[in-house]
Structure 1
Amino acid sequence: MSTTSISVRMDSETKKEGEALFKELGLNMSTAINMFVKQAVRENRIPFTVGDPRPNAESLEAIRDREQFLASGKKPRFSKAEELFEDLGI
């Protein structure tokens, strides 16, 4: 199978960090990119979840509520898992 070259733009810090990681894994940048593309083609999708790692507004509110509760000195006690789930709203 013949090969072709591509050009990829990325910031220099990401490139440096990627090269260091791939070197630890016994790969170079070209091999890592080829692995990514082959896996994407095989799965017919991006082979990992693309999303925002930051919590949404609802999660942030729940985190703040829980932090305030814990800061109050109260300790939640539950005798059944169902009570915990109910307290958590799930």
Structure 2
Amino acid sequence: MNTVAMNIRVDKNLKEQATELYNDLGLSLSSAINMFLRQSVRENGLPFKPQRTRRKSEIELASEEADQLMNDPNAKTYEAPQELWDEIGL
């Protein structure tokens, strides 16, 4: 394989985080960058869909659902835990 050196500028903190991530995955940063470039060539573009919004985590989704339930006047409520337990048969 004929290789060449590449010089790129990256934020120091980002490089450290990426290096740690890829080391945990058993890859060097150089290998990960090569994988990205190879996949870009295969895809004839970026190997992922760039977008402004990020996916919400399960915790964020659960928190939003909890907020909706707390503000829903039709949501079922219980005066004591025993009422809930009786309803679900515990």
Question: How far is the alpha carbon of 1:74 from its aligned partner?
Answer: 2.7
Superposition TM-score, scaled by structure 2 size: 0.61
> 1:2 corresponds to which letter in structure 2?
N
Residue 4 (structure 2) pairs with residue 4 (structure 1)? yes
What is aligned with 1:35? 35
Percent sequence identity over aligned pairs: 38
Task: Give the length in aligned residue pairs.
Answer: 66
Q: Which has the larger radius of gyration?
A: 2
Partner Cα separation in structure 1 for residue 26 and residue 54 of structure 2: 32
Q: CA RMSD in A?
A: 2.5
Runs (5+) with no aligned partner, structure 2: 56-66, 76-90
Post-superposition CA distance 1:27-61 (Å, at most 9, x none):
01100000000000011010011111259xxxxxx
Partner Cα separation in structure 2 for residue 25 and residue 54 of structure 1: 23
Runs (5+) with no aligned partner, structure 1: 56-66, 76-90
Partner Cα separation in structure 2 for residue 69 and residue 21 of structure 1: 37
